[in-house]
Structure 1
Amino acid sequence: MTEAIQVWGAPEGWDAFLLARRRAEFPGAIVHVARDDARMARLAEALAFVMPEAEVLRFPAWDCLPYDRVSPNPALISERIATLARLLEKPDRPRIILTTVNALVQRVPPRSAFAGASMDLRVNGTVQPEKLAQFVESHGYGRAGTVMEPGEYAIRGGIIDIFPAGEADPVRLDLFGDTIESIRTFDPTTQRSAEKRQRLSLRPVSEVPLDKESIARFRTGWRDLFGQAAAEDPIYHSVSEGRRHPGMEHWVPLFHPTMENLLDYLSEASVSLDHQVEEVLKARLEMIADHFESRRGVARDGEVPYRPLPSGRLYLDRAEWDEMLSFGPLLAFSPFGKPDGAPGVEGGGRPGPVFAQGGLSSGGGPGINVFDQLRGQVERWS
C-alpha cells in the first residue's frame, strides 16, 4: 500500500471542506472511505452544503452479515448499482465518491456487467411488454401486484409500473398498443401520478443476473465447488429454474466471469481514509473469517447445510486491500492537531464541543441549560 499522507486537524464536519479543497487540486475522482454508513451519510449532507455543485455518489455496504441467509435491502442494492453504472459514464461536474470500509473490502461485479446493460425508453417510442418483462426479470426485478419498492414491476393491460434502480420514485408507463404515450413518476402509497418524464433508462437492480449464461455459469461453479450432491440445495434449484432465492447474493461471484473492486471502476483516483479505518478493517476481516468458519460447520438435524464460498471469492484479504490502495495518492484523516515534528500536513480543523442532551459532553449534566453552555462557548471563541 502507498504510504498514506497523514492529514491532521480533520475532524468530522471539517473533512467536507478538506475534500472540497482536494477536489479543486486533483484532476481525477475523489474517493473517501468512511468508517461506517452513518459517517458516510453525515459527510454526504455536509458536502451538499460545502459543494452544492458536486456530484456526490454513495456506495454503501450490504446491510447483512457475511454469509447471511437473507438478501441485502433492495433500496440499498439499487443505490450501489446506480453508483457503479454512473462511474462508467463521463462526469459532467465535479465528482466525489463516498464509501465505507465494509463496502470497499467486498468485491463487486465487473464493469462489463453494467456496461450497456440498460433499456432506454422514451415518450412516443415503442416497447413490447413481454420483452420489457423479460429484460427486467433477467436483471433483478421481481413482478408484484402493486409496485412499492425498488426492483419491483407490474403490468396491467396497457399500464406498466416499475421502480428502477437509482430512482427516488417508481415510474408508470401508459401504452397504446406498443407505443409509449406517457411516462410519469407516481407516489407508491397513493398511486397518484406526479412528474412527467420524456425518457427513462432501466438498469439492473440486482448484482446477481439471471440470464441463461449467468445461470449456466452458476450451476457449473456450484458443482465444481461443492460437488454433485450439493445440487439438491434449494438455492441451486431456484437459480436453475430462473427464480430468485433469499440470500443468493452471497454467491454472486458464481454468476460472473470475474469480480472486481470499486476502484477498478476509476481510471484515476485520490483516496482518503476516515479516522480509525485501520481498526474497522481489522475487525471486519476477523468477522468475515469467523462467519466463514461457523457457516461451514456441520448443519444441525433438519437444517439445510450452508455452503459458504471461500472468503477470497467475495472479499479482499489484507494484501489485496493494500495493493488496491497503491495505485494513487492516499490520505489518512485524523481529528487531532499535528504534534510537533510529526510527519504529515495540518488540515486546520479542531474538534468542537459536543452538545449532548442535558448539557455539554465535557461536563454538562442534568439541569444544565444547554443554551447557556452554548452562549458561553461562543463568547470564549469570540
Structure 2
Amino acid sequence: CDAAARGSGGGLSGAAQLVVTTVAAITQRTLTPFRVRALTAELKPGARIDRDRLAALLQANGYVRTDTVADAGEFAVRGGLVDLFLSGSDEALRLDFFGDEIESIRRFDPADQRTIGRAESFTLLPASEALLDEESISRFRGRYRELFGATATGDPLYQAVSEGRRLAGMEHWLPLLEDGLATLFDHLGKHDVFVRDAGTTAAGEARFEAIADYHANRVQAQRTEPGSYRPLDPEALYLSEDEWQARIAETPLHLTTPFHEPPSERVIEFGVAPARDFAPERKAGSNVYDAVVAHIEALRREGKRVVLASYSRGARERLRGLLAEHGLAGTVEAETWQEALGLASPLPAREGSGEGYSRLTAAPDGERPTPDPSLAGRRVSLIILPLDHGFTTREIAVLTEQDMLGDRLRRRTRRRKSADAFINELATLTPGDLVVHADHGIGRYGGLTQIPVQNAPHDCVALEYAGRDKLYVPVENLDVLSRYGAESEGVALDRLGGEAWQRRKSRMKERIRAIAGELIATAAARA
C-alpha cells in the first residue's frame, strides 16, 4: 500500500523515485489511485487542523488509537499532543498543538519516548489497505451477507468489522470493503520505466500455483469446519494469470539478464558480474583466507572499492580478525551502505546516545553525491548485510561470507527452556494477568481452554493482544511463555504481527552488548 501511495503522488516532491516490488505484490489488488490521493495529507508546523478531525483522518487511514504509541500504524491523543507512528517509518512523530494550529513536529523514539529531533513536515499516507469508515463497513456487511448468507453474521470477522474493530488478516476480504480495486500497474504513469529481471517468469508461475493451492486448502477447511474461514475467489484479490500476461505484454519493459547478450542497440551492458567463488580453494584444502586476501588486494590495485558483507556483528568481527591475521590491512567497519562506499563517515557520537552521525559531500540537485575527499583511498569496508552472494562492477566489489567460506553452517538448535516453571505459575495466574510470549510480546492471560484440532479437543492457553486479537498456545509449547514480572498497571499490550516487541528485544540485546563491553573494558583496566 505504501508503494502504491507513493506511486500515486502521495508525498512526492517531483524527484525521481525507485519502486522495488515483487511478483506477489504487483499482482495483488489494492486501493485505487483516487482512493489513496483522497486519504493523503501533507502536514507541517503552522498548518491548521482540528485535533478531532485529525484523529478521524488517522482512523480513516487505518491507524489504531492507543494510550501510548509503540508500533507502526498507531496514534495517541493526549491533551494538546498527538503522537503518531507513521507506517513504514522507524521513528514516531509528536505533534504539539496550540489551539487548532500545529506548533511543532518532533521525532521521538517509541521505545523510550525520548525526543530525537525536529521534523519540518510529513506526508500522511494510509497505514492499511483495509479502511474502516462508515461507507466501507456498510458495504462490507451487505456483501458478506450476500456471499455467505445470514448465518455468517456470527463470524468473528463480521462482528469485528461491524464494530469498527481491526482484525489481523482482514485484508483478505478487501474487495468487500471497497467499490473498486487496482494494482500497482494502475498507480504508475505511462512514462515510468519498468525493469523486469530474468526470474520474473518463473516467479509468476510459482505465485499463481501458490494462490490456487492456498485457495483449495481454504475451501477444504471451510467444508470440514464451516465458518472457520470463508475465502473469496482468487480473482477478487489477485490478477489472474491471463490478466498478468496481458499487463506484461502491454507495458514497455526493460529485461535484465545475468547472461551474455550479443552487442546490439537494444542491449545495455551494466558491467555487473557475480563475485568470485572460493569453492575451489575450499575443496582443495588450501588456506582460503590467503586466497581471499590476495583477491582483495588485486581488486584494490584495480581501483575498486571492496565491501565485505557479514550476517551479524559477531561474524563481522571474526572475519575482520581472521583477514588481519592473514595480512589484510586498511579495513573499517561501516554501519550503512553510504559509509561502505565512502559517501559518508561516522562522526563522534553524542555522549550516552550510542549513535553516530554521517556526512555526505554536498552535490547539486539531481546529481549523485561524491565521496568525501578525506575518505578517499582503497580501504576495505565491512558491513552487516544479509546477502548470500556478492557482485562486481566497474567501481565496486562486494564479497559475502558465503562467497568466501561456503554455505552457512546450521546452528545447533538452542536448548528450549523447561516449561515446568510456567506450568507451576499457571496455578497462581488469574484471567487478566499479563504474560510474555517469546515471539509476540506482552499479552493478557485468558485461562486454559480447549479448541478442536482435527476433530479432537486440544488444551491451549488463551492470550489476548491489542485489538482483541486472540492467540492460543498449545500446552506442549508453554516454554515460549513467561509471567510478566514488573508492575502491570498502565502496560500496553503488544499487537500480533507488530514490530514493537521485536524492536524492544533488539534494543535490549544492544544494551546488553554495550554493558558487557563496558564490563570487559573495566576488567581489562583493572588487570
Which TM-score applies when normalising by structure 2? 0.52
Rg larger for: 2
Partner of 1:374: 295
1:211 paired with 2:133, answer yes
1:110-169 Cα deviation digits (max 9, x unpaired): 112111313444334443332222221122111223212221111122221111235442
SS in 2 for 1:154: strand
Q: Where does residue 176 of structure 1 map in the other structure?
A: 98
Contact 2:222 2:230 in 1 (8 A): no
Question: 1:270 Cα shift?
Answer: 3.0
User: What RMSD in Å do the two structures reach over aligned CA positions?
Assistant: 3.0
- 1:202 paired residue number: 124
Aligned residue for 2:211? 288
Q: 1:218 to 1:308 in 2, by over 3 A?
A: same
- What is the one-letter code of the residue matched to 1:368? V
CA distance in 1, matches of 2:127, 2:273: 40
Offset of 1:220 from its aligned partner?
A: 1.8
- Per-residue displacement from partner, 1:158-217 (whole Å, max 9, x unpaired)? 221111235442110122343433211111122122222343432221111111111111
Establish whether residue 158 from structure 1 lines up as the match of residue 80 from structure 2.
yes
Conserved? CA contact 1:163–1:170, under 8 Å:
yes
How many residue pairs align between the two structures?
A: 299
**AA matched with 2:220:** G
Amino acid at match of 2:258: P
In 1: Cα distance, 2:104 partner to 2:265 partner: 60
TM-aligned CA distance change 1:380 to 1:188, over 3 Å: closer
Aligned: 1:233 with 2:155: yes
> Could you tell me how far apart the structure 2 residues matched to 1:316 and 1:225 are?
21
Aligned-partner SS, 1:96: coil
Q: In 2 relative to 1, CA 299–255 (structure 1 residues): closer, same or farther, beyond 3 Å?
A: closer
> Counterpart of 1:306?
229
- Indicate how the Cα distance of structure 1 residues 191 and 298 shifts in structure 2: closer, same or farther if over 3 A, else same: closer
Matching residue of 2:269: 347
User: Matches of 2:40 and 2:255 in 1, distance apart?
Assistant: 37
Corresponding residue number in structure 1 for 2:246? 323
**CA positional deviation for 1:295:** 0.4
Residue in structure 2 matched with residue 189 of structure 1 by the alignment: 111
Residue 142 (1) aligns with residue 64 (2): yes
Identity fraction in percent: 34
Cα 1:123–1:338, aligned 2, differ >3 Å: closer, same or farther? closer
- Structure 1 pair 350/194, CA: closer, same or farther in 2 (3 Å)? closer
Structure 1 outlier segments of 4+, above 6 Å:
300-303, 379-382
Gaps in structure 1 of 5+ consecutive residues: 1-76
- Alignment partners' CA distance in 2, 1:311 and 1:137: 28
Q: Shift in Å at residue 291 of structure 1?
A: 0.3
1:267 aligns with 2:185: no
CA distance in 2, matches of 1:175, 1:89: 22
Contact map agreement 1:159 1:173 (CA 8 A) in 2: yes
Residue in 2 that maps onto 1:297: 220
Q: C-alpha separation between the residues in 1 aligned to 2:4 and 2:299?
A: 44
Match of 2:199 in 1: 276
Q: Is the 8 A contact 2:198 2:255 kept in 1?
A: yes
SS at 2:95 equivalent: strand
| Cα deviation 1:18-63 (Å, max 9, x = unaligned) | xxxxxxxxxxxxxxxxxxxxxxxxxxxxxxxxxxxxxxxxxxxxxx
Q: Distance in 2 between matches of 1:128 and 1:141?
A: 17
Q: Which residue does the alignment assign to 1:247?
A: 169
CA contact (8 A) 1:275 1:332 kept: yes
Say which SS state the counterpart of residue 206 (structure 2) adopts. helix
Distance 1:95 1:158 in 2: 36
Q: Aligned pair in 2 of structure 1 residues 235, 375: CA closer, same or farther (>3 Å)?
A: closer
Quote the offset at 1:251 in angstroms.
Answer: 1.0
Say if 2:32 is the partner of 1:114: no
Quick one: higher RCO (CA 8 Å, sep 6+), 1 or 2?
A: 1
Specify whether residues 231 and 361 from structure 1 end up closer, same or farther in structure 2 by C-alpha distance, changes over 3 A only.
farther
* CA distance in structure 2 between the aligned counterparts of 1:197 and 1:278, rounded to whole angstroms: 43
Give me the whole-angstrom Cα distance separating, in 1, the residues matched to 2:154 and 2:243. 34
- 1:284 Cα deviation after fit: 0.8
